[in-house]
Amino acid sequence: MKKQLIFSQNWGKIYNAEEEYNVITLEDVIENEEVKAFINAAQKQIDALGYTEHSYRHIGIVSKRTGEILEKLGYEPKVIELGKIAGYLHDIGNCVNRVDHAHSGAILANNILKEIGMSAEDRAEITMAIGNHDEETGTAVSAISAALILADKSDVHRDRVANQNMATFDIHDRVNYAVTEANLEIRENERKVILNLKIDTEICPVLDYFQIFMDRTMMSKYAAKYLDIWYELVINGTKLL
C-alpha cells in the first residue's frame, strides 16, 4: 500500500492522509471472484422470475453512463471512479431477492469492498447510492446516487428482453422490446441531460412506456434536479418532458 490523496467528507477538497489504504478501482471490482459469483447468481434468479436482463450488459452500461455523467458535470476523478463502481454493483442484491434488492445489494457491496480494502468513507458513498437506486424506496441523496439513477433508468432496450416469444410478452417485455435505440446525452454547457428513445409503435404505443415507467421517469427528473441540471425525455423525435 502507498500513501494517497483522499477526498474530505464534503467531496470538494483534497487533503493529505496520514494513514495508508488501497485505492480500489473499477477494474479491481470487475476481477473480484465474489462479485462475479453474485452477478451470476443474481441473473439466475432474474431469469427464473422472467424479468429483463440485469447482468453484465446492463451493469456495464450503467457503470459507464454513471461515470460519464459525473465526468461531464465536472466532478473529481475519485467521485467518478466511485460512481462507476456503484453502477457496476448496483444490482447484485438480486442474488438475495428481487424485493428490496437495492438494500441487500448495498450491504453486499459494502462487505465486498471492505474485504478488498476500500476506505469506510468511500464505501459509504457507494452503499448510499446503491441503496437508493430503486424507484420504490429510493431517491437522489448524493451526486453519485443521482448519476446512478439517471444511468440505470436510461437503459431501456430490446436487448434486455430474454423472452424471445413475442406471443407471450407481458407489458414490460413489449415496451423494452419496442425500444430500438436508447441514448443518454449530457449537455454540460446547457446543464441538461436528455434520454432519447426510438420506439417501434407497431410493437407498442408510446403510452405504454409511461404506463410502466412513469415512476422511473419522475425519479430521473428529480435526480437531474439534485445535480442542478434539467431532464428531458424525447421519444421518436418528440420532446415529452
Which of 47-51, 96-100, 194-198 is predicted least confidently? 47-51
Q: What percent of the chain has pLDDT over 90?
A: 82
Q: Where are the domains of the chain?
A: 5-239
- φ, ψ for residue 198, nearest 5 deg: -115, 115
**Alpha carbon distance 218, 148 (integer Å):** 14
**Alpha carbon distance 241, 127 (integer Å):** 30
pLDDT confidence band for 8 (50 / 70 / 90): very low
pLDDT at 211: 87
CB-based contact 122:44 (threshold 8 Å):
no
Residue 20 pLDDT exceeds 50: no
Helix (H) or strand (E) holding 186: strand 179-187
pLDDT at 61: 97
- Environment class of residue 109 by beta-carbon count within 10 Å: exposed (0-12), middle (13-18) or buried (19+)? buried
| Residue with the larger pLDDT of the pair 50 and 108 | 108
3-state SS assignment for residue 193 = strand
pLDDT at 241: 83
**Alpha carbon distance 227, 21 (integer Å):** 30
Fold designation for 5-239: Hypothetical protein af1432 (1.10.3210)
CA 177 to chain CA centroid, Å, is 20
| Residue with the larger pLDDT of the pair 23 and 219 | 219
pLDDT at 18: 37
> Going by DSSP bridges, is the β-strand pair 192-199/230-235 parallel, antiparallel, or unpaired?
parallel
Of 180, 229, 186, 235, give the one whose Cα is nearest residue 210: 235
Cell readout for 94 is: 438480486
What are the tens digits of pLDDT across the range 122-173? 999 999 999 999 999 999 999 999 999 999 999 999 999 988 888 888 888 9
| Residue with the larger pLDDT of the pair 50 and 178 | 178
pLDDT at 22: 62
